[in-house]
Every structure is written in C-alpha cells, then in structure tokens.
Amino acid sequence: MRLTLTFLTLVLASFESAYALPRAYQRPSRRSSVDVLDDVLVFDAPAFDDPANPENTLVQLQGYVATREISIQSLLSGISTLLNQTLGLDISQDLATATSRLALFGTIPLSGKTITANVNGCGNAVTLPPLTALSSTDSRNINFTMFPSSADGFGVISDIDDTVKVSHTLDKLQLAQATLIDTPVPVTGMPDVYASLSKSLESPQFIYVSASPFQLYPFLRDFIDTTYSASSGPIMLNNLTTTSLSSIIDFAQDNGIEAYKSAMIDRIQGMYPGKKFLTVGDSTQKDPETYGEAIRKYGDFIACAWIRKVDGANNTDERFAEAFAGVSPSKYKLYTDDEIPGLANIDVAGGSCS
Ligand SMILES: *[C@@H]1O[C@H](CO)[C@@H](O)[C@H](O)[C@H]1NC(C)=O
Ligand SMILES: *[C@@H]1O[C@H](CO)[C@@H](O)[C@H](O)[C@H]1NC(C)=O
Ligand SMILES: *[C@@H]1O[C@H](CO)[C@@H](O)[C@H](O)[C@H]1NC(C)=O
Ligand SMILES: *[C@@H]1O[C@H](CO)[C@@H](O)[C@H](O)[C@H]1NC(C)=O
C-alpha cells in the first residue's frame, strides 16, 4: 500500500471582520512557505483508499497557520467584560483555563501558506509516524495522528456538543462556562456505548463532526483522546472565518450549522463511498434534519441515525416527522438519557437501528 498525501495546501481562516479583536488579519500578497516564527496546527486526519485507485491511500490534511499570539491579555479582558455584561459570568477566578481555551482566538491567521509534508514509513499505512517537516530550513516536527480505515465496513459520524460532551448548547451562560472554564464531562454512558461500538462494528472509523469553531480544536481533541480513547478519530470543526468577541460564544446559535454538517457528510461520503455509517447526534441543533437529509440523499450509506432527545430542545413528534420525512422508522432511533446504556445492545452490524 502506498501513501499519497493530498490537499497539502493548508486551509486557512481569514478574519474578515476583526471587530473588538486585538489585531487585524494579515494577507500575504502571494503564496509563501511557513515562516519559522509562524505557529502551525495540523489537524488529525482520516486516511482512506483512493476510490479511483484503491492501492493508494489518501490523506486529507488540514492545518492552520498563524503568527504567534502577541497579546492574549487584551482578548481576555475583552471577553471577560463581554461575558460579564451579557451573561453575568465572571471568569476572573478561572483565567488560566480560559486563557488556554481561547489561545487560538488570539492568533492572527495567515492565508496562502503552503507546507511540505514528509511522511516517514510510507510502506506501512497503519503505523505511520505522524511527522511533518515544514520546509528545508525549518525542521520542526508537527505532531498529528492519521486514522487509516478500509474502504468497507462501518464508520460512526458523531456530533460532539450535547451528544458525547455535556455543553448546555441551549443555554448561553452554561455553554460559555462549559466551553471556557469547566473540565469537560461526557454525556453519561456514552464513552461505554462508543467503546462497545468500537468492538461490535470491528474498529469503525469514528469521525467527530462539530459546529464548534476550529479554534477549540486542542480542547476538544484532548477531551476525545482521553474520555473517548476507545473511539478516537479525526475531528472536523467549523471554519469560523469572521469573528467578533460575541461569535466566540454564539457559535452554537449559528443558522449555517445544517449546511456545514451536510457538507462534511458529503466530504466523508467522498472518502468512504463503500462504508456504512451510524450517525449520532442530538435534538439541540439540526442533527435530526441533517441526518434525515443524508439518509434521503445517500440511502444505505447511512445505516442508521441515533438522536439524543435533550431536555428543553424541540422534541415534538412533528419536528422528527418532518426531519425524517420519507425515511423508514427502522433507520433511526430517538433516545432519552435512561436509554443510553441500552444503545450498546443494538445490533447495528446486523442491520438493526433500535
Ligand atoms: C475556511 O475559510 C477560508 C477563508 O475564507 C477558506 O479559504 C477555506 O477554504 C475555508 N475552509 C473550509 C474547509 O471551508
Ligand atoms: C462584573 O460586573 C459587576 C457589576 O455588574 C462587577 O461588580 C464585577 O466586578 C464585574 N466582574 C468583572 C470580572 O469584571
Ligand atoms: C511529538 O511526538 C514525539 C514522539 O511521540 C514527541 O517526542 C514530541 O514531544 C512530540 N512533540 C510535540 C510538540 O508534541
Ligand atoms: C418544533 O419543530 C416543528 C417542526 O419544525 C415546528 O413546527 C414547531 O413550531 C417547533 N416547536 C417549537 C416549540 O419550537
């Protein structure tokens, strides 16, 4: 098996509107390589058989290049004031945690950068040392993990906020607190359910798709890697291209979430057209609508959709009927928290969904 790296051009965010953020975004005049002073984050990546040439393995790499943060302090004081004024939340006792969670918001993204990735050990797709060298003069190693998975078998597409992690998406104050301050906690029982799926579906490719901004990647990755270690996988996050201080805490209210998640499912389908996916989400945002649409569009590519009914969300019959219109009731399951332990007993591999 040969490994080919594609998509080496880094995907970069531009902060078009830098309202209330400390610094402006810098646009280089043309493509340039990464400077030794730039910070580079390369996201964990799925690796998959090239549908056009199955003996090749493709990896889609995405990264973020920014100049190193200069003044996280002014960002912090801005957000502290905003949180205090709009939500009555006082983060002054938790500045260290908030500082680390907000760190990437305090960097200046650079567009048009390219890196060269040298992957050692191309002969073995499973134990690739995850190292990249930036350029001939910059030998920093950037760690990221590749998740190779076969073209067939199962996968799991999972939402994060309020599906696997308690985020209080419906309550801005609690959401801000859970995102900036609290130690993240899993939705009770879900780590066991995913560990069990990891066995029953024979090491499915787990892919976490969240509408959270990519600036929260280090925080979310750490959570998934530790709390969901039996079901770790790449995390796809939203591209927050314009931001203001308030958008940092308003991301969960964005109306573009359904379109974004549908686009990520399209992308996953392009990588793994021969797999079957279990999709797991919740009723706070648009997961029922997104997954219903994916089943109508892709049929058996989506084996099954599970939706957690979150208290306070729109859990009416009419909503789910509309979201899953035209979808067989045998293809989806709505579950309450007391049903979570039972999810592990569902024979998804054998074609059951509930
Ligand atoms: C993210 O936004 C930047 C700037 O608008 C754009 O160039 C890039 O293609 C976007 N990436 C994705 C994955 O949508
Ligand atoms: C938050 O606002 C209150 C008044 O509304 C003020 O007493 C308090 O000191 C402020 N806290 C911070 C951290 O700004
Ligand atoms: C990258 O991984 C190597 C080997 O596991 C480790 O020695 C190194 O400290 C890591 N670097 C970073 C920046 O995490
Ligand atoms: C719940 O969703 C349905 C279907 O979209 C909608 O008609 C209804 O107004 C919603 N109810 C509430 C309370 O938002």
In this predicted model, what pLDDT tens digit does every residue of 33-49 receive, in sequence order? 666 667 788 888 888 88
Give nearest CA residue, ligand 1 atom 3: 13
Select from 258, 286, 316, 322 the residue to mutate for testing ligand 4; criterion: most ligand atoms less than 8 Å from CB: 316
**Ligand 4, residues at Cβ distance < 6 Å:** 314, 316, 318-319, 322
Position of tokens 């007391």? Answer: 338
- Long-range pairs for 170-173 at CB < 8 Å and ≥24 separation? 170/284, 170/310, 170/312, 170/313, 171/312, 172/86, 172/87, 172/249, 172/250, 172/253, 173/87, 173/88, 173/89
**Amino acid residing at 249:** I
- Stretches where the chain sits below pLDDT 70 are 1-37, 68-71, 114-141, 240-249, 251-255
Give nearest CA residue, ligand 1 atom 11: 11
235-238 and 205-213 beta bridge pairing: parallel
Q: List the one residue out of 164, 191, 168, 190 whose CA is nearest residue 181.
A: 168
pLDDT of residue 188: 98
Tell which atom from ligand 1 comes closest to the C-alpha of 239.
1
Strands lying side by side in the sheet with 108-109? 38-42, 63-67, 108-109
pLDDT of residue 140: 67
pLDDT of residue 12: 32
pLDDT of residue 137: 58
Is the pTM higher than 0.75?
yes
Tokens of 106: 């305090």
Q: List the one residue out of 31, 19, 23 whose CA is nearest residue 108.
A: 23
Helix/strand number for the chain, H first, E second:
10, 15
Q: Give the tens place of pLDDT for each residue, 35-93.
A: 666 778 888 888 888 888 888 878 877 778 787 666 677 778 888 888 888 888 888 88
pLDDT of residue 33: 62
pLDDT of residue 354: 94
pLDDT of residue 2: 37
Q: List domains and CATH numbers for the chain.
A: 2-68+107-148 (no CATH), 154-343 (3.40.50.1000)
Give nearest CA residue, ligand 4 atom 4: 319
